[in-house]
Structure 1
Amino acid sequence: MLRVVLSVAVLAFTVYCVVDVVQTEEERVRGLPKLVWLVVTLLVPLAGGISWLIAGRPRGILKPRPRPSGPRGPDDDPDFLRGI
């Protein structure tokens, strides 16, 4: 039973990595060309997927977006306050 669970987990991880490689834009891929990453993740499922996540995936996917620097509400807007 444990062997089946591990096999399914490795298969799901490989599918996730292959889909991630395919959906990533060519110019954002790091290290190797996109086609090489695809072949590596398919031929060496666990090691290829881990290496894709560490070395090939574009940086900054999970970084929070910067907040806008402008006023957030009417009480923060100097032009609005001048008109009161």
Structure 2
Amino acid sequence: MLRYLPFLLVLALWIYAFVDCLNTPEEEVRHLPKVVWVIIILLFGEVLVGPLAWLITGKVRHAPANGSTPAERHRDAAERWVAPDDNPEFLKSLERDDPRSDG
């Protein structure tokens, strides 16, 4: 089983680069047209030249605007979100809409 590992890693990188190239908008592709990148990835995939070239130079990589990592952006969004039962405005709206309230 271990002897198949290098082949599987090359195949995984090849597939990842191919799908990433197909899903990348044309505006974010650098140096060559997207069709040429697909051909390079497919022709030179088994020797890793095509997929590595795509991953290193073919796509515009965007840095976060404020320098945060994706995990930090997710954590910040989670801190801003408030559950409905903890949101005072939501609870007040329930009291206004409740026909059983005395108000």
Q: Which stretches in structure 1 are left out of the alignment for 5+ residues? A: 68-84
Cα 1:5–1:41 shift into 2, 3 Å:
same
The TM-score normalised by the length of structure 2 is 0.58
Instruction: Find 2:61's aligned residue among 35, 51, 59.
Output: 59
Larger Rg computed on CA atoms: 2
User: How far apart, CA to CA, are the structure 2 residues paired with 1:2 and 1:42?
Assistant: 25
Give 1:27's aligned residue. 27
User: How far apart, CA to CA, are the structure 1 residues paired with 2:51 and 2:60?
Assistant: 14
Query: How large is the RMSD of aligned CA atoms in angstroms?
Result: 1.5
The alignment-based identity, stated in percent, is 45
Q: Which stretches in structure 2 are left out of the alignment for 5+ residues? A: 68-103
User: How far apart, CA to CA, are the structure 1 residues paired with 2:43 and 2:2?
Assistant: 23
User: How far apart, CA to CA, are the structure 2 residues paired with 1:2 and 1:37?
Assistant: 31
Q: Which runs of 4+ in 1 moved over 4 A?
A: none
Ranked by relative contact order (alpha carbons within 8 Å, sequence separation 6 or more), the top structure is 1
